Structure 1
Amino acid sequence: MRLMLALVATGLLAACDIGTEERDEVASTRTVQRSYSPVPPGTIARGTAAREAALAPPGPEVTRDLLARGEERFRAFCAPCHGTSGRGDGTVVSHGFPPPSSYHEERLRALAPEQIVQVITHGKGRMFSYADRVLPEERWAIAHYVKDLQSRGQGPSPDQGLAKP
């Protein structure tokens, strides 16, 4: 009986080590370590053409559904800094962060939607890129929602909301 248990235990332990014959190339986590090989010149990463096509102007047609999606994404990604009205009075400002520019400033009102998409994609000033967080279609939706927000002139500016004695 003991001999049978010893054989089973030995078989189980041996089975745990299958596939690690090349121990020099295997790390402790059993991940194969390969040397760095540079990307050949002239190659393009898979999906690049589709991503660039999705970011190309003029973008998708502006519909109610697109603006609704833009508002949802705006509230998730932009409102913490820019505020729900786009006046630069988001919650991060109350925590000591510098206020971002208001979307209702004349220089930002003059931006075309494709310029807003570029800022979302690459970042600008203190704003970092959201390319890894927001899909290209959603960037267009946010940009068109911002233009809609600007056209409505929604919300008072932070200075107008303060009552002075």
Structure 2
Amino acid sequence: MTRLVAVVALCALGACSDMSDQPKQRTYSPLVGPAQTPPDVVSFLYSEPTAPPLTLALIERGQQRFRIFCTPCHSELGNGQGMIVQRGFPEPPSYYVERLLKAPTLYFVDVIAKGHGTMYSYASRVPPADRWAIAAYIRALQKSQNASAEDLAGAKTEAAP
């Protein structure tokens, strides 16, 4: 019986080959040129995601979702000093650093969906509409911390009875 098992094992191992030594064309070969697309291949239809219209309801929804999902790390202010940071976890970047002030809104939506650095993906937790709402709220936070005197004066005259 053991001989039979040994023979079967040897036959199985003999059937294996080095798969790295197979004839294939690289994506681009200088001798042949670019690889040809096989016939009947349908290209992937991709369209750039579009932001919903910016409304007060969207920002309020974003604030609610931000408080649920983002404040443990980013804090209510978005300065990266959330509760888990105070307990020794890595500090996320503040939303007020130059790089994030200049980043497009789609960047925040993508980071929520895909994760970045030590932040894992929230794609399974935050639906796409809420990602846009959170990103809109992040923009509102950024503007609130960097508002000029003219911005505040305009807000006072609009809010005056």
TM-score by length of 1: 0.59
Deviations 1:83-142 (A, max 9, x none): 000000100011110111000000011111111101111000000000000000000000
Return the alpha-carbon distance in structure 2 between the equivalents of residues 133 and 57 of structure 1. Answer: 19
Decide which of 57, 70, 74 is 1:82's aligned counterpart: 74
- Structure 2 portions without partners, runs of 5+: 1-40, 147-161
Q: Does 1:106 align with 2:98?
A: yes
The aligned residue for residue 46 of structure 1 is none
Return the alpha-carbon distance in structure 1 between the equivalents of residues 98 and 81 of structure 2. Answer: 17
Which residue identity is paired with 1:107?
A: R
Decide which of 117, 121, 140 is 2:113's aligned counterpart: 121
Return the alpha-carbon distance in structure 2 between the equivalents of residues 74 and 151 of structure 1. Answer: 16
- How do residues 16-35 of structure 1 correspond to structure 2 at under 5 angstroms? none
Return the alpha-carbon distance in structure 2 between the equivalents of residues 106 and 118 of structure 1. Answer: 18
Return the alpha-carbon distance in structure 1 between the equivalents of residues 95 and 129 of structure 2. Answer: 21
Shift of 1:57: 3.3
The aligned residue for residue 143 of structure 1 is 135
Decide which of 130, 136, 139 is 2:122's aligned counterpart: 130
The aligned residue for residue 5 of structure 1 is none
Decide which of 48, 52, 62 is 1:60's aligned counterpart: 52
Deviations 1:51-109 (A, max 9, x none): x87xx433100100000000000000011000000000100011110111000000011
The aligned residue for residue 92 of structure 1 is 84
User: What is the SS of the residue equivalent to 1:131?
Assistant: coil
Return the alpha-carbon distance in structure 2 between the equivalents of residues 143 and 134 of structure 1. Answer: 12
- Structure 1 portions without partners, runs of 5+: 1-41, 44-48, 155-165
CA RMSD of aligned residues (A): 2.0
Identity of aligned residues (%): 45
Return the alpha-carbon distance in structure 2 between the equivalents of residues 82 and 105 of structure 1. Answer: 13
Deviations 1:34-64 (A, max 9, x none): xxxxxxxx89xxxxx9xx87xx433100100
Aligned positions, number? 104
